[in-house]
């Protein structure tokens, strides 16, 4: 089949997802993209220019069998703009995140227009895929509340049909690139932060925990991940624990692989997480996870390991102390978890996408 992937926010995890599927699919996958900036403008206006590129491509190379658009696309508007060049292509929507339950940054205020773009896109898609069960469930738990705030024609009668065509299709992750990065524990345990440096990843809580932990335990610290904003708490962390920090900035691919291979513990303090790519990578490379007992993490970690890996609110430092004090138990858990994470490697996930798209297109 010929699959058109429409991704207006082609950067970071969105780019890795699109490139990963194209590289591993048995179908012929073509990308239509814009750069990953100005996300609000992408949601409002990218459909015009991407539709133009789509139409031109179809005229030159022929029609597509499937259109796979992401949550950054205004899908009804895109389909209207491509008109008859869509032909009989089946349309699928992939939800990396959503604008209804994503926590607001301090720089933003409530604007329901973006959540409505997500909802309207779901109504016109033939299939809707969420990247996790948690994401699926939290969306459908709250969308009714948004729709019921409108005065009439509330769309609530459409909810059962949208629920019926929604399912979970996990993100593929290029895990095999870390196969040579798995290392042995060092003399001093290395704690890794490999999340985005942004408000929704809880950097203030993480920094406070590291400073408190340093009063009782010896460890090294690596701060990696994309730096979205200046994090004042991390500046304080670098002042107070500077001699412990072995890496404190965005990591190149080679640096990142080395950090993952050397990490003993990976920590998340996120307040929003629909999948957890960075944590999945770190666990696969051999790091013991210390994660919130909320969001997607109970889904990512097998139930029998919840007590070892997941902490309750207010218990982060105590959980870290336990992890540092029990290296043998950490190793046992990581050995079990690596096989669990391997199911998200692209060679394992791409056939799920191929089969799902073939099924909605009619076999």
Range of the structural domain that residue 296 is part of: 175-344
200 and 217 share a domain? yes
- pLDDT tens for each residue of 82-96: 999 999 999 999 999
206 and 115 share a domain? no
Using 50, 70 and 90 to split pLDDT, how confident is the model at 104? low
| Strand order across the 66-70 sheet | 28-35, 2-10, 66-70, 90-95, 127-130, 166-168
188 and 142 share a domain? no
Instruction: Tell me how far apart the alpha carbons of residues 153 and 360 are, in angstroms, rounded to a whole number.
Output: 29
User: CA-CA distances (angstroms) from residue 186 to 183, 190, 219, 220, 256?
Assistant: 9, 8, 10, 10, 17
Contact 172, 350 (CB under 8 A): yes
Type and span of the H or E element at 161? helix 159-164
Collapse the DSSP code of 169 into the 3-class scheme (helix H, G, I; strand E, B; otherwise coil) and give the result: coil
252 and 148 share a domain? no
352 and 339 share a domain? no
180 and 302 share a domain? yes
Count the domains in the chain.
2
> With b meaning 16 or more CB within 10 Å and e meaning fewer, what string describes 275-293?
bbbbbbbbbbbbbbbbbbb
What local confidence, expressed as pLDDT, does residue 107 receive?
A: 65
> Long-range pairs for 41-46 at CB < 8 Å and ≥24 separation?
42/8, 42/9, 42/72, 43/8, 43/72, 43/73, 43/74, 43/99, 43/114, 43/117, 44/74, 44/117, 46/8, 46/72, 46/73, 46/74
19 and 151 share a domain? yes
182 and 165 share a domain? no
110 and 190 share a domain? no
10 and 84 share a domain? yes
Using 50, 70 and 90 to split pLDDT, how confident is the model at 340? very high
7 and 151 share a domain? yes
Looking up tokens 């998340």 gives: 268
User: CA-CA distances (angstroms) from residue 90 to 48, 56, 83, 357?
Assistant: 20, 19, 14, 8
What local confidence, expressed as pLDDT, does residue 363 receive?
A: 62
What local confidence, expressed as pLDDT, does residue 124 receive?
A: 98
Round the average pLDDT of the chain to a whole number and report it. Answer: 94
DSSP string spanning 243-290? GGEEEESPPPHHHHHHHHHH-SEEE---S--SS-HHHHHHHHTTPEEE
What local confidence, expressed as pLDDT, does residue 135 receive?
A: 98
What local confidence, expressed as pLDDT, does residue 108 receive?
A: 65
Determine what percent of the chain is predicted with pLDDT higher than 90: 84
Range name among 7-16, 64-73, 102-111, 326-335 with the lowest pLDDT average: 102-111
What local confidence, expressed as pLDDT, does residue 77 receive?
A: 98
What local confidence, expressed as pLDDT, does residue 225 receive?
A: 81
CATH of residue 275:
3.40.50.2000
What local confidence, expressed as pLDDT, does residue 103 receive?
A: 73
> Long-range pairs for 84-88 at CB < 8 Å and ≥24 separation?
85/54, 85/55, 85/58, 85/59, 87/58, 87/63, 88/63
248 and 160 share a domain? no
pLDDT at 231 exceeding the cut of 90: no
- pLDDT tens for each residue of 264-312: 999 999 999 999 999 999 999 999 999 999 999 999 999 999 999 999 9
Q: Which of 173 and 109 is assigned the larger pLDDT?
A: 173
Using 50, 70 and 90 to split pLDDT, how confident is the model at 234? confident
pLDDT at 111 exceeding the cut of 70: yes
pLDDT at 230 exceeding the cut of 80: no
Collapse the DSSP code of 105 into the 3-class scheme (helix H, G, I; strand E, B; otherwise coil) and give the result: coil
């Amino acid at each position: 089949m010929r699959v058109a992937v429409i991704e207006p926010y082609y950067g970071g995890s969105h780019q890795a997802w699109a490139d990963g599927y194209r590289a591993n699919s048995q179908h012929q996958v073509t990308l239509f993209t814009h750069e990953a900036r100005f996300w609000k403008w992408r949601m409002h206006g990218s459909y015009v220019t991407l539709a133009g590129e789509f139409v031109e491509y179809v005229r030159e190379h022929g029609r597509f069998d499937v259109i796979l658009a992401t949550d950054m696309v205004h899908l009804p508007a895109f389909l209207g703009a491509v008109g008859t060049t869509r032909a009989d292509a089946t349309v699928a929507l992939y939800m990396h995140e959503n604008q209804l339950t994503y926590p607001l940054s301090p720089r933003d205020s409530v604007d329901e227009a973006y959540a409505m773009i997500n909802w309207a896109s779901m109504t016109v898609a033939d299939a809707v895929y969420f990247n996790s069960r948690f994401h699926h469930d939290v969306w459908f738990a709250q969308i009714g509340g948004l729709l019921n705030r409108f005065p009439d024609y509330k769309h609530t009668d459409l909810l059962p049909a949208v629920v019926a065509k929604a399912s979970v299709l996990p993100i593929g992750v290029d895990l095999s690139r870390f196969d040579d990065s798995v290392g042995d524990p060092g003399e001093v345990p290395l704690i890794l932060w490999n999340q985005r440096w942004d408000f929704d990843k809880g950097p203030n809580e993480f920094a406070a925990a590291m400073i408190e932990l340093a009063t009782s335990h010896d460890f090294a610290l690596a701060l990696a991940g994309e730096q979205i904003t200046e994090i004042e708490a991390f500046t304080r962390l670098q002042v107070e624990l500077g001699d412990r920090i072995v890496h404190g900035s965005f990591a190149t691919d080679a640096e990142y692989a080395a950090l993952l291979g050397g990490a003993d513990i990976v920590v998340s303090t996120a307040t929003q997480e629909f999948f957890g790519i960075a944590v999945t990578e770190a666990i696969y490379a051999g790091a013991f996870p210390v994660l919130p007992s909320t969001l997607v993490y109970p889904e990512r970690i097998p139930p029998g390991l919840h007590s070892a890996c997941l902490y309750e609110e207010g218990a982060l430092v105590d959980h870290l102390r336990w992890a540092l004090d029990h290296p043998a138990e950490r190793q046992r858990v990581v050995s079990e978890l690596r096989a669990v994470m391997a199911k998200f490697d692209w060679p394992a996930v791409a056939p799920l996408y191929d089969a799902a798209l073939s099924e909605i297109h009619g076999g």
